[in-house]
Amino acid sequence: MRKSLPEDSSLWKCFIQGDDDAFASIYSGYIDILYAYGKRYLADDDFLQDCLQDVFIDIYKYRKTLSSDVNIKFYLFSSLKHRINRCLKDIKTNAEKASSYDYKTFGEFNLSLSAEETLIRVEETEVCLKLLVQEMNLLPSRQKEVLYLRFNSNLEYEEIAVLMQIPYLPAARCYFAPLNNCVRNWKILQQKSC
């Protein structure tokens, strides 16, 4: 997924100052992730396309009044969500169109993943779990015990500290230290595979 980058800020500023190439860059850089986000709410492609078009028309039309200091991705996501909700509300109040839409599925956020996304997530999870097991096998016995008590027994840190007769902060550190190592090693592994 595309992240907002520092150069996006200058792109946005160029856009609100009237640069049509900047607008085209914003559109092409964000349309796919906005579409994917909108599909989580709407099954109707035509309706979603209309909402996306409205968002970009509005930001183009009102660009001179927009703030120059925004996170583009957040602004576009919130604009799309707002547009979808406003259009759904308009449809619900319009008796002529109301019968052509299924409101049980419209406007509800859908967390289902595509087959490709699911496969990628399964593979990433397997790699992460293998890495986590390797990291856990390197841990001292006390850290392993804290992780066991937290994950397997669902004990709170205060309870773990009392049970192991250690202060609260060391109990929390025993939990977070191996997880931080796993995240660090995971990032290194991702960089090597790219």
Compute, in degrees rounded to 10, the torsion defined by CA atoms 159, 162, 163, 166: 120
Q: What is the C-alpha end-to-end distance of the chain, expressed in Å?
A: 15
Distance from C-alpha of 17 to C-alpha of 15, rounded to nearest angstrom: 5
Number of domains in the chain: 2
Handedness of CA 145, 123, 110, 55 (dihedral sign): positive
Question: What percent of the chain is predicted at pLDDT more than 90?
Answer: 21
In this model, does residue 97 exceed pLDDT 50? no
Contact 55, 83 (CB under 8 A): yes
**What pLDDT score does 1 carry?**
41
Query: Do 88 and 128 lie in a common domain?
Result: no
- Over residues 89-98, mean pLDDT: 63
Whether residues 93 and 170 fall in one domain: no
Would 104 be classed as within a structural domain? Answer: no
Domain check: are 50 and 132 in the same one?
A: no
pLDDT at residue 158 above 80?
yes
| Residue 110 forms part of a structural domain | no
Q: Are residues 142 and 88 in the same domain?
A: no
Query: Both 131 and 81 in a single domain?
Result: no
CATH code of the domain in which 176 resides: 1.10.10.10
CA distances from 24 to 27, 30, 92, 113, 145 (A): 5, 10, 33, 29, 55
The answer to whether residue 25 sits within a structural domain is yes
pLDDT at 113: 65
- Picking from 16, 2, 1, the residue whose alpha carbon sits closest to that of residue 70 is 16
Q: For the segment 59-70, what is each residue's pLDDT rounded down to a tens digit?
A: 999 999 998 888
Cα Rg of the chain (Å, integer): 24
Q: What's the CA gap between 39 and 43, in Å, rounded?
A: 6
Range with the poorest average pLDDT among 22-36, 63-77, 108-122 = 108-122
Domain that residue 65 falls in? 6-98
Q: Do residues 87 and 156 both lie within one domain?
A: no
Which pLDDT score, from 0 to 100, does residue 189 have? 65
Question: Which pLDDT score, from 0 to 100, does residue 89 have?
Answer: 81
Q: CATH number for the domain including 75? A: 1.10.1740.10
